Amino acid sequence: MALMIGEECIACDACVSDCPNDAINGGDPIYIINPNLCTEYMGAYDEPQCASICPVDCIFQDPDYEETHEELLAKYHRLHPD
């Protein structure tokens, strides 16, 4: 699953720089996660850094984008071929 940011987002920028895929962008009024770029940090870290750093705990799995660990890892390798 890709992650998503809930309405509780305070647009604090804490999550933006931690994303290895540049999947998090400013929205209006909250940040958004591009599901085509989100790998839930699979391939980069053991757990989603954006969710662990979020001061209001508003980042969670997006039920509209279900993917297996294998699919997320394959997406990560497509985004980072080296």
Give domain limits for the chain. Answer: 3-79
The two three-digit tokens of residue 23, written as one number = 């999947």
- The span from the CA of 54 to the CA of 27, in Å, is 16
Per-residue pLDDT of the chain (82 residues; tens, 9 = 90+): 799 999 999 999 999 988 999 999 988 899 999 999 999 998 899 899 999 999 999 999 999 999 999 999 999 999 999 8
Furthest C-alpha separation in the chain: 36
Helix (H) or strand (E) holding 25: strand 24-25
Q: For the chain, where are the alpha helices, taking DSSP H only?
A: 49-53, 69-79
CATH 3.10.110.10 for domain 3-79, yes or no, is: no
pLDDT at 65: 92
Whole-prediction pTM: 0.89
pLDDT at 1: 75
